[in-house]
Amino acid sequence: MKYFIFLAVLFTCACTEHRVLSRHETNEYVFSDSTNHGTDSLTASEIRPYREKLKAGMSIVLCESTAPFEKGRPESALGNFVSDACLLTGNQAYTSSGNTPADFAFFNTGGLRRSLPEGQVTKGDVFELMPFENQLVVLTMNGKLVKKLFNFIASNGGDPVAGVRFEIHDQRARAITIHGVPLDTNAVYKAMTSDYLANGGDRYSFLSEASKRDTVKLKVRDALIQYMYIQGKVGDKISPVLDGRIKNDQ
């Protein structure tokens, strides 16, 4: 089956008051299905050996999903999934070396690089969602810094979080609860995030105020792969969830 495209360059311009000049050049580009002439054979042969080597590892199906996961603000199915999975899997790795678990997790919306599809989710899909080599870290911070953090997230319009709920009012966070308990600005909390944000990436320079930083020996991407692999093994499908953890207060 063939598909046609007409690429025309068209001049219509009434640049002077009384005279109009128009000129048309029409080119026709013909493309067909990818198996035929719609692709460039030289390029295809250059890509092939690279693709073949990738395919073996990346086409592994980790689990199935019941619907697509997409990113967005103030909360999103994709952001909720990533932060919930990282908090759970990250805490398993973190507590196995004798630490007390992180209370909540946060990430940046810009770090979610692709939607997850409905149906089979492959390892390659997760690499495209989270292509970076970022490591999970746990930051110890006082309640005042936690409040600053959520105010910052509120000023962004919301970002992926887990273990926490709040409302955005005038670009600030209010009614903040952590695991259902109101935020205590005199308490000390542990937050899981990526080393990219902990190093001040995406305007998070204030995270240098955290009193302690522990490295979790797990990449963000590997935490997601582990989580999905286990879901797949036990036969549970993953489903997009919106639970109002961040709400715009209007």
**Applying CB under 8 A, which residues contact other proteins?**
3-13, 15-16, 19, 21, 23, 27, 29, 31, 33-34, 37-40, 42-44, 46-47, 50-51, 53-54, 57-58, 68-70, 113-120, 124-125, 127-128, 131-133, 195-196, 199-203, 205
Of 196, 197, 144, 213, whose CA–CA distance to 173 is shortest?
Answer: 144
166 vs 196, which CB is nearer to other proteins?
196
102 vs 129, which CB is nearer to other proteins?
129
CB of 227 to other proteins, least distance (A): 19
CB of 184 to other proteins, least distance (A): 30
Quick count: other Cβ atoms within 10 Å of Cβ 78? 21
CB of 140 to other proteins, least distance (A): 21
88 vs 210, which CB is nearer to other proteins?
210
CB of 128 to other proteins, least distance (A): 6
CB of 44 to other proteins, least distance (A): 5
Q: Are 30 and 3 in contact (CB under 8 A)?
A: yes
187-to-62, 102, 103, 144 alpha-carbon distances in Å: 39, 14, 12, 9
77 vs 87, which CB is nearer to other proteins?
77
Rg (the chain; Cα; Å): 24
31 vs 177, which CB is nearer to other proteins?
31
Structure tokens at 108: 């940046």
Of 66, 61, 90, 93, whose CA–CA distance to 77 is shortest?
Answer: 66
81-to-56, 75, 209 alpha-carbon distances in Å: 26, 10, 28
